[in-house]
Amino acid sequence: MSAIKGHEILLCDLDAFFASVEQRDHPEYREKPVIVGGRPDQRGVVAACSYEARKYGVHSGMPISRAEKLCPDAVFLPVDIERYRCVSAEVFAIYERFTAQIEKVSIDEAYLALPAEKGFETARKIRKTVKQELGLPISAGVSVNKLLAKMACELAKPDGIKMLRPEDVPKEIWRLPVKELPGVGPHTEKKLKQAGIKTIGQLAKFPKNRIIKMLGSVGESLHEFANGIDTREIETEQEPKSIGEETTFPKDVYDREKALTTLLKLTEQVGYRLRRKKLMGRTVTIKIRFGDFRTITRSRTLEEAVDADGTIYRIARELFLSNCGKPPWRLVGVQVSNLDKGSYEQVSLFSSIEKKERQLSKVIDEIRERYGRDAVKRATLISRKESSEQKRL
């Protein structure tokens, strides 16, 4: 019954992701209904809403105008997708500490494969880490296949964890309305209702051949799903062609040191992801978007592949300084491409300064994995200027 024999599957899903990021970054929005998707006077739909807003019947996909009628006092916010992408990358970097078997479903949802008996404990650790390091609520479902992991996660929400065993299906799943089964949309639900099928249990016990006659090949999968059977495997991503991070500043930046500090933070994320995947790259690219939205990228290709934060940052910094023109800057990004797995272990090729940089990066990775990402900061990140700025915030 399991997708991969001897494995357990986790479905990790951030709760009300966009709204949770906004509530995390703006304490004044906490415990308030928050609706992300645009302002009420603009057309558009709800992209995400906090659980406080859901109490009023607001849900994602609903027109903003309707959401405003249901919950006029909510905080309405525009979608800041670039920021959510950055946060999502941080969440996925946490998953990568626990397994390489990750299937990205969407910006806030992923399947993870873990060795048998390790699923629940890992899900617990992931939830704790995401909460401690990123301050975000995340729910997790654990089971032997993707379908049951997904359903366990739905039952666990919000901010919960649940394990669902195949033998739990009759008790836990069969009582649910059939539309709760993944793959059953409004159209299918209507057809099933016409046949007298209202719950997942009724679908499970219905003769399979009649379901297939009614719904075609989809019917076969749905009948299996209703019985807790799912043979789909985790589809991990192919090797990436590049690894990059970018961020849009909350406000346009005029201060060069501030832009460079951000570039360093992004470089550390890129370096970390490279090392996690045991990849190195020969091309370093930076991206700059100016206040007037003009966007440039500049690259340098090296003789040897690199993966150390210090080395990547040195190149990114030079590229920035010789191309940054006049402020303000709206976005900066850094990317490493021309990736190569082979050179990872060939340390002998490196100069002693390279070796030191790589060693330092590894030590920092270890400390961060043990104590959280803020445990270590490079000297340039805690310059006097920076710390006084942080105080002002």
Q: Is 386 a catalytic residue?
A: no
CB 240 to Mg ion: min, Å? 23
Candidates 24-32, 83-91, 107-115, 145-153: pick the segment binding Mg ion (CB under 5 A).
107-115
Candidates 16-24, 52-60, 173-181, 352-360: pick the segment binding Mg ion (CB under 5 A).
16-24
In 3-state terms, what secondary structure has residue 370? helix
156 lines the binding site for Mg ion (CB under 5 A) = no
50 lines the binding site for Mg ion (CB under 5 A) = no
Alpha helices in the chain (DSSP H): 17-25, 51-54, 64-70, 81-98, 119-129, 146-156, 169-172, 186-194, 200-205, 208-215, 217-226, 256-276, 309-323, 352-371, 384-392
The smaller minimum CB distance to Mg ion, of residues 60 and 65, is found at: 60
CB 81 to Mg ion: min, Å? 15
Candidates 37-45, 84-92, 108-116, 224-232: pick the segment binding Mg ion (CB under 5 A).
108-116
In 3-state terms, what secondary structure has residue 159? coil
Task: Give me the half-sphere count of Cα atoms (radius 13 Å) on the Cβ side of residue 363.
Answer: 10
The smaller minimum CB distance to Mg ion, of residues 108 and 307, is found at: 108
Instruction: Tell how far CA 288 is from the center of its chain.
Output: 24
Q: Which of 96, 109, 233, 386 is catalytic?
A: 109
The smaller minimum CB distance to Mg ion, of residues 18 and 272, is found at: 18
Tokens of 295: 């966007």
13 lines the binding site for Mg ion (CB under 5 A) = yes
Residues in contact with Mg ion, total (CB under 5 A)?
4
Is 29 within 8 Å of 13 (Cβ atoms)? no
Which residues 248-267 are close enough to bind Mg ion by CB under 5 A? none
The smaller minimum CB distance to Mg ion, of residues 14 and 169, is found at: 14
What is the three-state SS of 288-346? EEECCCCEEEEEEEEEEEECCHHHHHHHHHHHHHHHCCCCCEEEEEEEEEEEECHHHHC
In 3-state terms, what secondary structure has residue 130? helix
Candidates 17-25, 299-307, 331-339, 383-391: pick the segment binding Mg ion (CB under 5 A).
17-25
In 3-state terms, what secondary structure has residue 105? strand
CB 13 to Mg ion: min, Å? 4
Candidates 56-64, 106-114, 275-283, 329-337: pick the segment binding Mg ion (CB under 5 A).
106-114
Q: Please, what's the b/e burial string for 137-148 (b: 16 or more CB within 10 A of its CB; e: otherwise)?
A: bbbbbbbbbbbb
CB 146 to Mg ion: min, Å? 16
Would strands 7-14 and 109-115 be described as parallel, antiparallel, or unpaired? Answer: antiparallel
- Phi, psi for residue 43 in degrees, rounded to 5: -75, 155
Which of 108, 172, 307, 309: binder of Mg ion (CB under 5 A)?
Answer: 108
The smaller minimum CB distance to Mg ion, of residues 138 and 316, is found at: 138
The smaller minimum CB distance to Mg ion, of residues 20 and 335, is found at: 20
Instruction: Please list the active-site residues.
Output: 109
For Mg ion, the binding residues (CB under 5 A) are: 13-14, 17, 108
